[in-house]
Structures are given as structure tokens and as C-alpha cells.
Amino acid sequence: SNIYEKNTITEDGQLMLKKAEKDQIETVWDRYQAQLPQCGYCEMGLSCRVCNMGPCRVDPFGEGPQKGVCGADADIIVARNLGRMIAAGAAAHSDHGRDLVEVLENVAEGNAPGYAITDVEKLKQVALDYGINIDEKAPLRIAGELAHAMQGDYGTRKKELTLVKRAPKKRRELWRNAGIMPRGIDRETSEMMHRTHMGVDNGWQSLLLHALRNALSDGWGGSLIATEVSDILFGTPKPTPNTVNIGVLKEDEVNIVVHGHNPVVSEMILQACQEPDLLRMAKEKGAKGINLAGLCCTGSELLMRHGIPVAGNHLMTELVIATGAVEMMLVDYQCIMPSLGTVASCYHTRMISTSDKARFPGMEHREFHPDNSRELARELIREAIENYEQRGQVYIPVEPVQSVGGFSVEAIISALGGTPAPLLEAIKAGKIRGVAGVVGCNNPKIRHDHGHVTLTQRLIENDILVVDTGCAAIATAKAGLKMADAIRYAGPGLKEVCGALGIPPVLHMGSCVDNVRILILASALADALGCDISDLPVAGSAPEWYSEKAVSIGTYFVASGVYTVLGPMPPITGSMNVVKLLTEGLNDVVGAAFAVEPDPEKAALLIRRHIESKRRALGLDA
Ligand code: NFS
Ligand code: SF4
């Protein structure tokens, strides 16, 4: 096999890599090769840059120094480094959530033209969760009070985050008893930064326990707020057909691509793309229309709510530009490679950064705020249309793949006829053995999409329903596992159930903040069975993860009671104490633990074994 096939399983990826090579475009895979061999100390988590007596490293072979200048040993250094990864991931999700709360507040005050309350039912329901009296109040007034109450969750006033009430009762008691109940979203992240300062928390166990609490403040706090407020503002997703891969770009239309995470920008771009005067302008310039496509999680946000096509996931973001077909790419924040501006400089593509907190070389900065979004989006689309004339040769080598997305918990429950009971019955009867979440990123250390697709195939073949999010969800969609007739890839039981419901065996549940939808689904199943999440035949996995956000997600899954298998090894092998706690000891603390298995075939076996053992413990196959 050639180098292209070694890097990615996808046809569009392979063909685009060839094109990029011809165009002399440097990609993420080239830079990864140039970094090899990567630092062994850092790979094991044994280097520390926390203070300026360092940097320090601990020798894993026991010959060189075993302590940093301050006296920290391998256990402390590894635990501190992992804690800081989780803090960064939780901060990213939660700050994204905060931006949505600010838009909600601006909508309530009438300062956000173009934004509105789209799902009033959900607004009311979340407001009730916050203890807000909604009687005879106008939606905008409720929205204002809800935004204010959510801001309280970010701070120090609370003893417990409001939305943990959606977790099963047993789980909340467990968190209280273990001392890991999240109190404030920013508080837990800030405390993690404090604890990992030199000379504060030097107990590797207490550091890791706080890391669980910090991750829970993301899953049951910042991310959950991000998802709920996105649904309130832009609508709760319903099953919608869509198309995926690089073939969604159109040769004869103005192609506009949104990349990043926050729907606050991409939703406004979508509105502008649909405006008749701009469509007319595109036609005057000789284009057949305006084609909006997404990348990564903001792509999944638009796909979930509007069926907007997605051109690719994380490792495809440079290659999308190399088609020469993109008039404009707009980015907000997170997972946007700082190389994109350089790639775009070889084509006519205009690169626009939109967030006050995220700048990139080779991009033009045009800042979006709730009060100027609508106007700015129109202005930028006009400029993108102007740019159509500058196009050179275009290379779009594949046809798009059909898929179905939009499976919010509400949509799943409604597909089931209003209650989770039919899903439970299918699980009890053994037609569906269990449910697995396949989530997370791409990483050039793993053949692109191979982990996601192979693992998902093995699971559905064995009657395990797969729910996915983020770049994993885009991978399985591209592989055809979400086509209307994808049940042919499923085992007999899963095929029967999904066939009857008219759903694919792999359900796209959204972006990475939407992993909380999986938590809510698991809680609904646990409540219906009268058990805890850790008793359920469910599992999680992140076969190709790369980001700090993914570490936070994996950790809040485990802390919520979900056994989670990671593909790439996190930087912890320098401390066997930390490795053992995370892979075994946590079972005694939270009833779940991590496993690490880069081979998706083997990871599928681990998950199947886990699901079968949970079934036995519940007495399901007696
Ligand atoms: Ni999630 Fe989305 Fe993708 Fe990974 Fe990045 S885009 S938030 S972090 S790479 S899945
Ligand atoms: Fe070195 Fe300790 Fe400072 Fe880390 S905190 S850099 S181990 S002296």
C-alpha cells in the first residue's frame, strides 16, 4: 500500500493527499513525520514545566534523576500534567458554553438581531430545572432569568451544579460521598490550576480525584449548558438526511466552509447564505448558488439541526482547502490548525477568523459579536461571492455519501414512541446487547478514520447500538454507516430493531459538547431500570483522540460510571500508580475505569466483554 493509504482509509483523503503533494502543500502528516521520534519523557508524562526552577524530567529507567528540583516524583508530575490537560479541556468546553449563555442574555435584552429563542419548550423545561418560575412569563423574560442562573453555575455560589440533578440519584450520592461533586464550573478548573502550582497538592490520588470533579464540571456543567442553550437558540435536532465527505463541495457554486465549534457564528452564516439578494448576486457572478458546508464540530452542529453537509473531520481540514474550490473558510475556535492560513495562501481561498479569543496566521480577523453578527455575516458572504471569480482549477474527486443525523435524546425518545421503554425491552430481550458511544478526534498517530470505522463496524455487527459525536460521527457517516440502508451492516437483532424504527444502527448525536446527550440518554436508561449508570451494558470509546477536551470527556464519562476505552495512550505511563488507578482503582471509586487499546479490533472485544458482563450482573440473560 502507498503512503496515502497508510495515512487514511478514506478515498477522498487519499486522493486529496496526492493532490496536496502535487501542489507542494505540507500537511499534518508531514509535520508529524518531522517530529519523530517524539520526546520519550513527554510521552510518558515525566517532564515538568510548571515552574522556573525547572524544566525537570524524571528518568523512567531509574538511572538519572527520580525527582524534579522541587522534589516532585514521577507520580506527582504525571498526575499534575494530566490534571492540567483536563483543566484545559474543561475550560474549552465551558467557555464555549459561556459564549452561548452570553448570546442568550443578549437575545433577552434585545441586543442580538438575527438570534431568537427557537425552542420555547426546551427553554421552559431547562428554566424549571433551574427553579425559575415560568408562569405567565414571556419567553424573553425567562431567557434572561435563565442566562443569569446559568452564570451562577460558573461561579462560586453553588454547592452543587444545577444540572447534576439529571444524573441518577445513586450517582449523585456516589459523587457526594467520594467528594467529587462539581460545585462551580470555573471553580473546579481554577482549583485544578491552583492545586497543580508548585507546592500545593502533592498527593497524586487527591490530584486525580479533583481531576474527576473538574471533568464532571465540564460534562454536567459547561458542555451541558452549551448543548442546552444551543438547542434553545437554534432548535433541538430532529432526524435529518444530509451528505458528507469532500464531494459535498460544488464545482459550479460558491463554496463557503465553516470550521470550529460554536454555532453562534455558523448559524448566522447559514442565514446569510439563504438570503435571496445574496443568492441573486451569486448567480450574477456565474455561480449556480451558494453552497455552505461544515467541518468538525460546528459542521456537526449545522448538520444536526439543518442537514447542512459536512466536508470532513479534523484531519481533512487542510485537504478541503487543497480542492481549490473553497471561496471562503470561516473559523471560530478549537481544533483549527494554525497551518490553514498557509495552505490557503496557495489557492484563492479567503480565511476569516471570527472570535476575539482565537487568531491565526494568514487569516483576516473579522470579529463576530451578538450585536453585529447578522450584518457581518452578510458582508462576508458578499465578499465570498466576489471571490468566486478568482477561482483557479478545482479538484473535487469523489461523490458525497448519504447519511442521517440529528439524533438528540428528544429525537431518539420520540422515534421510540415517547418513552425509552422499547429500547430497554430490546436490550432486555438481548436483541440489542448494549449501547456504545464512539467519540472524539482524529490523530495522525492512528490511520485516519480507521479506529472509528472499524470499531463501529465490529460493534454493530455484534448487535451493539452505536451513538457517536464529533469527528468520530463524521468518520462513520463518510463510511456509509449512517445511510438509510446501513442496517445491512448490523447484526440480526440490531437490524430488526433499527429496521422497525427506521433508524440507522449508528446514531449521530452531535458535536463534542453534545457528548452530554449520551450522558442524558444513559441516565434515562438507568432511571428506567432503577439502577446506576455503572450498572448498564454501556461503554464509551475514543479511538483516535488527540485533544485536551477529549481527555476531559473521557474522564467525565468514567466518573459518570461509563467504562471507556482510549485508542492512543495518554501521557501517563511514567507512573504505574497513576496508570493503575485510572485503569483499575477507579472501579472502586466510581464503578468504572479506563482501558487503552489502539487496535480497534481488540477494543471491540474489550467493549463486548464489558457489555456482556454488565448484562450478566443485571441478570438479563438468566
Ligand atoms: Ni472534539 Fe470537535 Fe474533532 Fe476532536 Fe476537535 S473537532 S470538539 S476535539 S478533533 S472530535
Ligand atoms: Fe521542576 Fe518541580 Fe518546578 Fe516541575 S514544579 S518544573 S518538577 S521544580
Work out the average pLDDT over 484-505.
96
Q: Which ligand has the shortest distance to the CA of 69?
A: 2
Q: What is the number of the ligand 1 atom nearest to the C-alpha of 261?
A: 2
Q: Which ligand has the shortest distance to the CA of 553?
A: 1
Q: Whose CA is nearest to atom 2 of ligand 2?
A: 70
How far apart are the CA of 85 and the centre of ligand 2, in A? 17
How far apart are the CA of 55 and the centre of ligand 2, in A? 6
| For residue 508, pLDDT beyond 80 | yes
pLDDT (tens digit per residue) in 50-87: 999 999 999 999 999 999 999 999 999 999 999 999 99
Q: Which ligand has the shortest distance to the CA of 550?
A: 1
Which of 46, 47, 48 for a ligand 2 pocket mutation test, highest count of atoms within 8 Å of Cβ? 48
Kindly state if the Cβ of 415 falls inside 6 Å of ligand 1: no
Write down the pLDDT at residue 387: 98
Q: What is the C-alpha separation between 595 and 582, in angstroms, rounded?
A: 8
pLDDT (tens digit per residue) in 303-321: 999 999 999 999 999 999 9
Q: Whose CA is nearest to atom 1 of ligand 1?
A: 512
Kindly state if the Cβ of 470 falls inside 6 Å of ligand 1: yes
Which residues lie with the beta carbon below 6 Å from any ligand 2 atom?
48-51, 53-56, 68-70, 72, 77, 198
Q: Which ligand has the shortest distance to the CA of 294?
A: 1
Q: Whose CA is nearest to atom 2 of ligand 1?
A: 297
**H helices of 402-479, where?**
409-415, 421-428, 450-461, 470-478
Domain architecture of the chain: domains with CATH:
74-234 (1.20.1270.30), 246-390 (3.40.50.2030), 407-617 (3.40.50.2030)
Q: Percent of the chain scored above 90 by pLDDT?
A: 99
Q: Whose CA is nearest to atom 4 of ligand 1?
A: 441
pLDDT (tens digit per residue) in 443-475: 999 999 999 999 999 999 999 999 999 999 999
Confidence of residue 621 (pLDDT cuts 50, 70, 90): confident
Q: Whose CA is nearest to atom 5 of ligand 1?
A: 335
How far apart are the CA of 550 and the centre of ligand 1, in A? 8
Q: Closest by alpha carbon to 397, among 328, 347, 292, 322?
A: 322
Write down the pLDDT at residue 391: 97
Q: Closest by alpha carbon to 143, among 130, 156, 162, 159?
A: 130
The H-or-E segment that residue 243 falls in is strand 240-244
| For residue 239, pLDDT beyond 90 | yes
Kindly state if the Cβ of 93 falls inside 6 Å of ligand 1: no
DSSP strands (E only) in 381-525? 401-405, 434-438, 464-469, 506-510
Contacts of 242 (CB under 8 A, 6+ apart): 303, 307, 308, 309, 310, 402, 403, 404, 405, 477
Kindly state if the Cβ of 314 falls inside 6 Å of ligand 1: yes
pTM above 0.80, yes or no: yes
Write down the pLDDT at residue 139: 98
Query: Which residues sit opposite 290 in a β-bridge?
Result: 254
Write down the pLDDT at residue 1: 65
| For residue 484, pLDDT beyond 90 | no
**H helices of 218-316, where?**
223-234, 263-273, 276-284, 296-306
Write down the pLDDT at residue 541: 98
How far apart are the CA of 394 and the centre of ligand 2, in A? 52
Q: What is the number of the ligand 2 atom nearest to the C-alpha of 76?
A: 7
Q: Quick one: cell of 350? A: 479567503
How far apart are the CA of 574 and the centre of ligand 2, in A? 16
Q: How far separated are the first and last CA of the chain, in Å rounded?
A: 48
How far apart are the CA of 419 and the centre of ligand 1, in A? 31
The H-or-E segment that residue 604 falls in is helix 600-617
How far apart are the CA of 72 and the centre of ligand 2, in A? 7
Strands 56-57 and 47-48: antiparallel
Kindly state if the Cβ of 299 falls inside 6 Å of ligand 1: no
Q: What is the number of the ligand 2 atom nearest to the C-alpha of 51?
A: 3
User: Nearest 5°: CA angle at 544, between 488 and 302?
Assistant: 70
Concatenating the DSSP letter of every residue in 536-577 gives SSEEEEETT--SHHHHHHHHHHHHTT--EEESSPPTTTT-HH
Which of 218, 259, 340, 441 for a ligand 1 pocket mutation test, highest count of atoms within 8 Å of Cβ? 441
Write down the pLDDT at residue 358: 98
Work out the average pLDDT over 202-230.
98
How far apart are the CA of 209 and the centre of ligand 2, in A? 21
Q: What is the number of the ligand 2 atom nearest to the C-alpha of 69?
A: 8
How far apart are the CA of 199 and the centre of ligand 2, in A? 9
| For residue 152, pLDDT beyond 80 | yes
Kindly state if the Cβ of 550 falls inside 6 Å of ligand 1: yes
Which of 41, 70, 197 for a ligand 2 pocket mutation test, highest count of atoms within 8 Å of Cβ? 70
Query: Which residues sit opposite 448 in a β-bridge?
Result: 8
How far apart are the CA of 410 and the centre of ligand 1, in A? 23
Q: Whose CA is nearest to atom 7 of ligand 2?
A: 68
Q: What is the C-alpha separation between 47 and 49, in angstroms, rounded?
A: 7
Packing angle of the helix pair 600-617, 450-461 (nearest 10 deg): 40
- Residue-averaged pLDDT of the chain: 97
**H helices of 326-438, where?**
340-344, 373-387, 409-415, 421-428
- The DSSP symbol for 38 reads P
Kindly state if the Cβ of 549 falls inside 6 Å of ligand 1: yes
Strands 350-353 and 326-331: parallel
Q: Which ligand has the shortest distance to the CA of 315?
A: 1
Which amino acid, one-letter code, is at 107? V
Q: What values do phi and psi take at 418, rounded to 5?
A: 110, -15
Q: Which ligand has the shortest distance to the CA of 542?
A: 1
Kindly state if the Cβ of 381 falls inside 6 Å of ligand 1: no
Contacts of 159 (CB under 8 A, 6+ apart): 181, 183
Q: How far is CA 333 from CA 93, 115, 261, 472, in A?
A: 11, 20, 6, 19
- The DSSP symbol for 61 reads T
Q: Which ligand has the shortest distance to the CA of 201?
A: 2
Work out the average pLDDT over 293-300.
98
How far apart are the CA of 38 and the centre of ligand 2, in A? 21
Q: Percent of the chain scored above 70 by pLDDT?
A: 100
Q: What is the number of the ligand 1 atom nearest to the C-alpha of 296?
A: 6
Q: What is the C-alpha separation between 52 and 72, in angstroms, rounded?
A: 14
pLDDT (tens digit per residue) in 573-617: 999 999 999 999 999 999 999 999 999 999 999 999 999 999 999
| For residue 15, pLDDT beyond 90 | yes
Q: Which ligand has the shortest distance to the CA of 314?
A: 1
pLDDT (tens digit per residue) in 369-386: 999 999 999 999 999 999
Q: What is the number of the ligand 1 atom nearest to the C-alpha of 553?
A: 1
